[in-house]
Structures are given as C-alpha cells and as structure tokens.
Chains A and B, each alone.
Chain A
Amino acid sequence: MSSTKDNFAISSDSLAYFAVGNPGGGSGQKPSLNPAEGKKSELSWSQLIDGPLASWARDPSQLDDDGLLAPSSATITKASLVAASLRDHGAPAPTRIVPTGDGGIALQFDRGRQFISIEIEPEGVVELLVFDDGRLRHRAAL
C-alpha cells in the first residue's frame, strides 16, 4: 500500500480483481470483471467522481443522518484518489458509491453472486473485500 497527497497506488495483484494489470503470481483465482456482466446499468467514472464525490466534498454534512456518521473531507478526498487510480488503470466503473454509515465510503462492484467492495475507512485504511455467494473470499489492505 502506498499513497501520496496526489495519487493512490494500487498493486497489480489487487488490480487483477478488476480484470486489469498483471496478476503477478497470486495464488487465488481472480474473478473477471467484465462490464458486460453487470446486472445493473453502469455509471461512468466521471459521473461518480464529478457527481456524488464532488457533491459530498462540497457539503459532507448532507450524509449526516439518524445515528449515522458522515465521511470527513479527508475520507472523501481519499475516495476520489482511489476512484481516479482505478479509472486510470482501466478498471470498470463501480455499480455504486455509497457512504458506509460509520464515516467511510465504499466503491461497490455488484455482479450478482460476486460482490466486490473497496472501503475507504475513516481511519485512512483502504480495504479490498471480495465476496462469492456471501462468503468472504479475499480481504486485503490496498
């Protein structure tokens, strides 16, 4: 894992879960994320980065709600960097980008039986979680 103020680096092994880059010798079977497999309409990266992420950055308090914690400006900025990095590597856009309710943001790739989530936690940790039929198959810090 590495990150700077201006970018967020994602390892090639993690990128393999998005069907981009070189798997780099990982032993687990990497799922293919072909946009055509998506069960729902796809948003574009620019729609996500310039849409909800930009809107939340302007006013994070819009996500304050009953018993929930809105993401901070720093968390929103980091989520934008992660999104930009995935976009620049050619990854398909996520199905959804949503607040986690406890101060984080999740980029989600919902493929029916397979569900991939990248969670940007309020503490600054970024995690990749891969589920198959509800079972957690892979979990790693990015």
Chain B
Amino acid sequence: MAQPDVEEPLSDDELLLRRIPASQNWVSPDDKSIDPLAFRPRESDITGLSFGRAKYDAPIQEAAKGALGRRFFVALLSVKLIREKGMTIVPRPLIGDAGHAEISDLTYANRRSDRAREFVQCLRDCVVGVQGPFDGQRASP
C-alpha cells in the first residue's frame, strides 16, 4: 500500500493501539489480561507488527478498522516500555491511516524465531490498558 510523504516521529510518551479479535479468547474475561498470541504477527504483517497511534485515533476508532460483523478489543501499549524491551517502532503512515506504526523486529516471516517469540512474550508487559470490545466497521472490498 502506498504511503503518505510525512512521517511524524514517535515519542516515548505515546501509546500504541493493537486491535485484538474477540473471537480468539486472547483477552481474559475476568481480569482482561492479554494472551501473547495477540501480538504474533499475522500474514499481513510483512514489514512489521501493525499498530495504531493513540494520538491519531481513539480505541473505538481503531476497532472500527476491523471487519464488519466482528468485535475487537483494543490494547494500549507504552512506546517507552516497548523501546526498553529492545524493540524498534517506526511510524509507517498509510493512505487513509496516518497513525499506522510498526514494530519492525516482528514480521510474519520471523514469527516463530526464538527472538520473535521472546519479543511477543515481552509485549504483554508493555500493555497499560485494554478497552472494548467494540464493533468492526470495515466493509469487505
């Protein structure tokens, strides 16, 4: 997908948003703890693990980018904590999604490597909140 020209740097005090399908039971119903599998790269994560930036979209708006008819939790993660774990976050704005960002260390191709598995495990510790579930609103192409 084409990218806009402007990339606003990510600051340590920002929060990232990760959409989590409710159907997978990756969010505990009792304490809303998150399963590390919620952070395993998916087939579309070719250049990095996708996130939204909270300064661009509210959690309910991030969830709305998911498929119509599905429900999504949205995890909020601290950029500072992610960087402290040794991961690299890069802004990667897309056409129609200026707040898109990626952890470039995690891709679909490397998802089963030891290092990727450790990073995925560590991302649980970077979660500072969970909201939802909210309805997805993206119509099928």
**Interfacial residues, chain A to chain B (CB-CB below 8 A):** 40-41, 52, 62-63, 65-69, 96, 98-102, 106, 108, 115, 129, 131, 134-136, 139
Q: Are A101 and B37 in contact (CB under 8 A)?
A: yes
Q: Are A62 and B23 in contact (CB under 8 A)?
A: yes
| 1/0 contact string of B30-42 vs chain A (CB within 8 Å) | 1100011100101
Residue of B whose beta carbon sits closest to that of A62: B23
Additional pairs, 15, CB under 8 Å, beyond known A67-B42, A68-B42, A102-B111: A63-B23, A65-B67, A66-B21, A66-B72, A67-B43, A68-B21, A98-B24, A98-B35, A99-B24, A99-B37, A100-B37, A101-B37, A102-B40, A131-B121, A134-B122
How many A-B contacts at CB < 8 Å in the complex?
67
* A71 → B minimal CB distance (Å): 11
Docked complex Cα distance between A69 and B111 (Å): 15
Residues of A within 8 A of B125 (CB): 134
A-B contact pairs, 25 of them (CB 8 A): A41-B30, A63-B24, A65-B21, A65-B23, A65-B24, A65-B67, A65-B70, A66-B67, A66-B70, A66-B136, A67-B43, A96-B25, A98-B35, A101-B24, A102-B40, A102-B42, A102-B43, A108-B35, A115-B121, A129-B117, A131-B117, A134-B122, A136-B114, A136-B121, A139-B114
